[in-house]
Amino acid sequence: VVDPGEMISLKEILAKKRDPLIIMFNRLDYEQNLGAILRTAWGSDVDAVIVNPSGIHEVTPVVSKVSMGGAAFVPLISMSLFQALDQLKDAAVEVVGVEVGQGSPYFQKDLTKGIAILFGGEAAGLSQPLMERCNSFINIPMIGTLASLNVSVATAIVLFDRLRQKSLG
């Protein structure tokens, strides 16, 4: 259980965990999405959720309720994504960006090792400066004219494919 009074840092997680699973978000504007992401993160063995402090970045009553307990078990770290990306690079953790039309379909990428997965936000995808910090990209193939999915849904698709891949290994 994550003690809200005891803030854990990304550096501490990277020092403790050999093959971490970190998920990061450019900007979240809705508490319900953060709650759903924390619930998914809890169910898929995520070591930390990193959010940009300019958006929704803390566990509110709505976030807590929607997370159905996830907020108590998955560390939520509010920090500059650029600082986080620097720390991940120093720890030799691959950063995979999830972006429409970039890279290969998520199910073709090996997601089973230590990895940081970077998602855009609800209103916009990844900025060019963030994309430049990614080691590789994946996308979620779409049919028709729909460009993208809700960020919490996209997160669930990628994380649970990682679990599927790990179960096959």
What is the reported pTM?
A: 0.93
pLDDT tens for the chain, 169 residues long, are 655 556 789 999 999 998 999 999 998 989 999 999 999 999 999 999 999 998 788 888 889 898 998 999 999 999 999 999 999 999 999 999 999 989 999 999 999 999 999 998 777 789 999 999 999 999 999 998 888 899 999 999 999 999 999 998 6
Q: What is the pLDDT of residue 39?
A: 96
pLDDT at 2: 58
Rounded to whole angstroms, the Cα distance separating 54 from 92 reads 26
The encoded tokens of residue 113 equal 């090792």
pLDDT of residue 6: 63
Q: What is the pLDDT of residue 3?
A: 55
Q: Would you state the pLDDT for residue 7?
A: 79
Count Cα neighbours of 13 within 13 Å in the Cβ-side half-sphere: 26
Whether 81 and 52 have beta carbons less than 8 Å apart is answered as yes
- Helices marked H in the chain — which ranges? 10-16, 31-43, 61-67, 70-73, 81-90, 128-131, 151-168
Residues 113 and 89: their CA atoms lie apart, in Å, by 15
Buried b (16+ CB within 10 A) or exposed e, 58-73: ebeeebbebbeebbee
Please work out, in degrees rounded to the nearest 5, the angle formed at the alpha carbon of residue 40 by the alpha carbons of 38 and 44. 115
